[in-house]
Each structure stands twice: as structure tokens, then as C-alpha cells.
Structure 1
Amino acid sequence: MGKKKPAPPKQKEPKQKPRQAPSAFDSVKLRDLRLTAELSQAALAAAIGLTATDISRYERGLYEPSFTTAVKLATALSVTLDALKRAPGAE
């Protein structure tokens, strides 16, 4: 009896990142609304209890605000939540 050849090593499948639903939040609109309101990032942040870095990250699309934070942003900018939403079909 001959020796059996060892089975080839199993290849691991690459891990896939979980798919996230497309965001309804529009970071560009946030920036435009802030500038229209003549507020600095620091002033808007202070009004809602965040840091200017947080506002910058939202405006650059690095982070998305929670629902509660989005409500605070809309209130501080005197707009509705819909004003912070991305237009349907826009990417």
C-alpha cells in the first residue's frame, strides 16, 4: 500500500464587508446649509454639543450622524430633516 497524498490546504475565502444600505444623509448639503447660515464648524458643533472635528467628518462623508444628531443639526440650521437628505437617485 502506498502513502496517500496529503489533501491540498483549504483556501480561505476573503472576508466580505457587510453591505450597508445607501445613506440618505447628504454631507455636501450639510456644508452648504452651514455656510448659508453663516456658521463656522466650531459654532455649529458648539450649538449641538459636538466638536468641530465631528462636523468636519460629517461634511467630508467620513462619518454619518446618528438620527438624534441629524435632528440636532437640522434644528441648529433651522431646516427640516429632509433638507439634509440626499436627493433620490443621487450618489
Structure 2
Amino acid sequence: TSLPKGMEMPLGLTQFRVGLSEGRYTESFSLYVDPALGVNGYWVKDSAGTWVNLASEPYGGKMSTEGGRTRLDFQIQDGGQYDADGL
């Protein structure tokens, strides 16, 4: 019910945990999805509660096609606002 009007989630909510090696504070991710699903980004809420697309240029990400799949590239900084635990 808190989704913006017209927002669909064909995969539901995707959640994952990553353990960073000592001295690393940022990790890059690539998520591959079936293009038939119409996925248009990797969306998360920012600290103000606004949905933002981490797989978009303003957030340092990108979308492309690779091997017949849609590829979503994005980064998350440990302790940053998109880090789930915020530590």
C-alpha cells in the first residue's frame, strides 16, 4: 500500500546480505532479470521515504542488456543511507 501509484513489483521485494572484507566500504552488485518482466530498476526508499532507482545514472548505477537478460548495476556503501543496518 505504500508503493507509488503505478509502481509494480514483478519480483516482489528482493533482499540480500553481504559481508564486506576488512577495509572495504562499498560493494558493487549486478542483478540479472528476465526482460519480459519489465523491470526498470533496483528501487529502494531513501531516508525521506522517497523511492529511488539505484540502477540509474543519478545514483551511480546503470541498466543494460547482457546475454538476453536485463542487467541492473548498482553500488551500496556500508553505513550509507541504502545500507539496511546503517552501520
Greater RCO between the two (CA within 8 Å, min separation 6)?
1
TM-score, scaled relative to structure 1: 0.25
More helix by share: 1
More strand by share: 2
Specify the structure having the higher radius of gyration (Cα): 1
TM-score, scaled relative to structure 2: 0.25
